Amino acid sequence: MNETQRAKIILKILNKTYPKIIVPLQSRNVFTLLISVLLSAQCTDVNVNNVTKNIYPKYYKPQHFKKLGRKKIEKLIKKIGIFRIKAKSIYNLSNLLIKNHNGKVPKTYEELEKLPGVGHKTASVVMSQGFGYPAFPVDTHIHRLAQRWGLTSGKNVAETEKDLKRLFPKKYWNKLHLQIIYFGREYCKARSCYGLSCKICTTCYPNRKKPCLTKKA
C-alpha cells in the first residue's frame, strides 16, 4: 500500500468518524480567534476556553486590549501557561493592528506572521477557521500522526504540511486538520495506540507488530 492509497483510506475513516466538526476554540470574531490560537500554545483548548469565556463578552477588539494594557491582560490570562509572554504579544499585536490595519486582522500569511507571537501554524488556523481560506495547520500532534500513518517522512512540521497538502485535495484541508486532531486525541493517542491498535493504524498497517516510534518535530 502506497501513501496515496493510505491517504484515501484515512480520509474515508475520518469522514465516517467525524462527519461534522466543531471548531474547538471558542471565539467571538476573527480577532478573538487569533487571540485564542495564540493562547493555545503549550496549553489545552479546554483551558483556553475556560479563561476566555470570562474575557470575550467584554473585551473583543484590539482597542479593548490596548486600553487594558499589558499588566491587566496578564491578570486576565494568568491561568494560562507562559501568560506574561502571551500578554506581551497580545498587547503588542493589538497596537500593531490598530496602527497598520485599522484594527482589522489581515487576511494574508505574510501580514499575519509579522504580528507578535504569530507563527505559521497560528496564521494557518486563522486563515482556515477565521477566513475560510484553504489551509492545513500542522502542529506537533498532526506531525506525529502523519508519520505514524505513513503520510510523511518529514523532519519538521513544514515538510509534513507540504506532504499532506500534496496527498489530500484542497477542498478537504480545513475540515481534515481538525479531524486528524480529534482522532489523535480519541483513538490514536501517543501513549496508547503506538501505531498498533486504532482503526487507521490497523487498516493501513495490518502486519505491523512493533510500536511505531515517531520523530519529534
* 28 class by beta-carbon count within 10 Å (0-12 exposed, 13-18 middle, 19+ buried): middle
Q: In the structure grid, which three cell numbers stand for residue 217, read together?
A: 518535530
User: What are 47's three cell numbers?
Assistant: 483551558
Cα dihedral angle (77, 98, 131, 152), rounded to 10 degrees?
-60
For the stretch 162-194, what's the b/e string if a residue is b when 16 or more beta carbons lie within 10 angstroms of its beta carbon? ebbeebbeeeebbbbbbbbbebbeebbeeeebb
> In three state form, how does the secondary structure of 25-63 look?
CCCCCHHHHHHHHHHCCCCCHHHHHHHHCCCCCCCCCHH
> Where do runs of H (alpha helix) occur along 43-172?
45-52, 62-68, 70-76, 83-101, 109-112, 120-125, 140-148, 157-167
* Nearest of 67, 63, 83, 65 to residue 75 by alpha carbon: 83
Other Cβ atoms less than 10 A from the Cβ of 213: the count is: 9
Catalytic residues: 121, 139
